[in-house]
């Protein structure tokens, strides 16, 4: 689970791993992918606002 801070323009400004798999490179891969994502702006009272969101991530290993 990755928690991501998205600004009013939809850009990722920060993130933290809430639950991950250490020493596998998977946390880093997820964070890289999320950093490249452009999010739709969150709205409050019809105005764009900054927001923290939680991103659940599931991996599936094939061939094992």
Chunked mean pLDDT (size 10), the chain, 64 residues: 96 94 89 94 96 91 77
Q: Which residues pair with 57 in a beta bridge?
A: none
pLDDT of residue 63: 80
Into how many domains does the chain fold? Answer: 1
Within a domain: 63 = no
pLDDT of residue 61: 77
* DSSP H or E segment with residue 35: helix 26-35
Question: Encoding tokens for residue 4?
Answer: 């991501």
Confirm if 32 and 12 have CB atoms less than 8 A apart.
no
pLDDT of residue 24: 87
Within a domain: 64 = no
Query: Among candidates 40, 31, 54, 32, which has minimal Cα distance to 11?
Result: 40
Range of the domain at 32: 2-55
């Amino acid at each position: 689970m990755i928690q991501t801070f998205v600004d009013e323009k939809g850009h990722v400004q920060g993130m933290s791993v809430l639950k991950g798999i250490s020493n596998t490179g998977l946390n880093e891969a997820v964070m890289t992918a999320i950093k490249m994502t452009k999010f739709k702006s969150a709205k409050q009272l019809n105005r764009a606002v900054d927001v923290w969101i939680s991103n659940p991530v599931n991996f599936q290993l094939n061939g094992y």
